Amino acid sequence: MARSVVADQLAAFVADNNARPWQPGTVDCCMVLADWAVWLGHPDSAAHLRGAYDSDEGFRAIIAAAGSVPALVATCVPTSGKRTQHPQRGVIGVIGSPSNIHRQFGAIHDGSGWLVRMHGGFGRMTARTLAAWRI
């Protein structure tokens, strides 16, 4: 896919998602990764998590059971997804603390850095890349 097409798709996705209110289990920093994959035409690989929690505490319990956010996100990457060490525009990933699972965030790379879905919409976050996948 051409860079400009991915950039246009990502911009449209971010605008669309920013119009939706934050709601754990539906619109949050990890569900947004699956939403991005669906936007690109992949099946919803996180359907098993949609509605499985409705609070930050519920999400934290799911993360703890998985062991980490990278481990949880890995179960939701489309089957065509491939791990990458060099994130580029459109790549999904997990950034943050390697040791504190409560400081790990799902993110989408915009070509120059990571975007994380926060309560008020997407924001740029600079943090260590823990895992990344081309989808």
The predicted structure's pLDDT at residue 3: 52
For the stretch 37-74, pLDDT in tens is 999 999 999 999 999 999 989 999 999 999 999 999 99
For the stretch 9-43, pLDDT in tens is 999 999 999 999 999 999 999 999 999 999 999 99
SS (H, E, C) the chain: CCHHHHHHHHHHHHHHHHCCCCECCCECCCHHHHHHHHHCCCCCCCCCCCCCCCCHHHHHHHHHHHCCHHHHHHCCCCCCCEECCCCCCCCEEEEECCCCHHHEEEEEECCCCEEEEECCEEEEECCCEEEEEEC
The predicted structure's pLDDT at residue 135: 95
State mean pLDDT over 99-108.
Answer: 95
Domain assignments of the chain as residue spans, ordered by start: 3-134
State mean pLDDT over 2-9.
Answer: 77
CATH code of 3-134, in short, is 3.90.1720
Mean residue pLDDT across the chain = 94
Confidence of residue 1 (pLDDT cuts 50, 70, 90): very low
